[in-house]
Amino acid sequence: MEQKISSYMKEKVFTKKFYKRVLLGVIILFGLLFLMDFVVMPLYTKHNREYELPDVTDRPVNEAMEILDSCGFVPLIKDSVYDEKFSPGSIIQQNPLPFSKVKSGRRVYLIVSIGEKPIYIPALIGLTPQDAEFRLREQELNLNQVFYEFSDFYPRGVVISQSLPAGEVAQKNQRINITVSLGVAPTTFEIPNLVGKSLDTAEKELEAIGVKIAKVKYSYRPQLVPGTVLNQSLEAGSSAVKVESISLLVSTDQPVSEETNQDTVIGKIGE
């Protein structure tokens, strides 16, 4: 009888422990479900939630990075480039684009302006005037005045000096003067051959031998460069010792009346 009671009590104790374990398991299960529903899942969904990316273009780089960082993004400087439209140190572009929907913690790549690209004076010495002008235009600069001088070193028709040295920083559309070689200065006083040369060159060569230009007659020649000497009143090679002046026939790309030429010329040229 005692053995039956003992067995019964043991079975009752076992059953009680079993139900306690089951109850504990149920409580734990409900606790886990509660954590999943009210703690883990909200954190997970919040982590994957998409946010609108703010527009930081045209802002100073430090300010832009602070804004992105405060919104939960990771700002990174990708590159720095020249851009005259944006002040130095401001944001030119961002990737992803402004107002894009992105997740928190997303990297945002920034391109920063370093201002307007500097313009440097090109080296013009040794070039022809035409090549020098082309080189200046490539750098968004302009050719201003062309002067001529005799040179024992540089051949005729090349640039021997420039008003601003090569490598110096210039402003956009700045005007540069150049000096072109007339070659070696003449040692004999003979009238030079001026045909085909520019009026400026002719004037310099005549000045070197003490001869002035008395009058200039213009001829309408649209196919030629304006200011090209077509004829001269004294032949090349003739003595210039007793000559005080010379007259020239020069091309122009504008129609010229005969009356105008008669008013500006002494003697006959090109007959």
Instruction: State the chain's mean pLDDT as an integer.
Output: 83
Identify the pLDDT of residue 28. 78
Q: Please determine whether the domains at 52-113 and 187-271 fall in the same fold group of CATH.
A: yes
pLDDT for 151 beyond 80: yes
Residues whose CB is less than 8 angstroms from the CB of residue 119 and which lie 6 or more positions away in sequence, other chains included? 139, 140, 141, 169, 170, 171, 172, 174
Give the whole-number percent of the chain exceeding pLDDT 90: 49
pLDDT for 257 beyond 90: no
- The CATH code belonging to domain 52-113 is 3.30.10.20
- Domain residue ranges of the chain, discontinuous segments joined by +: 1-48, 52-113, 120-185, 187-271
pLDDT for 269 beyond 50: no
pLDDT tens-digit readout, 180-214? 998 887 777 788 899 999 898 898 888 878 888 98
Identify the pLDDT of residue 249. 94
Q: Which CATH class is domain 187-271?
A: alpha beta
* CATH fold for the domain made of 120-185: Trypsin Inhibitor V; Chain A (3.30.10)
Task: Report whether 54 contacts 106 (CB < 8 A).
Answer: no
| Region for 254 from its dihedrals, namely left if φ exceeds 0, alpha if ψ lies in -120 to 50, beta otherwise | beta
Counts of helices then strands in the chain (DSSP H, E): 6, 13
Distance CA 100, CA 71 (A): 13
Identify the pLDDT of residue 271. 38
Identify the pLDDT of residue 244. 84
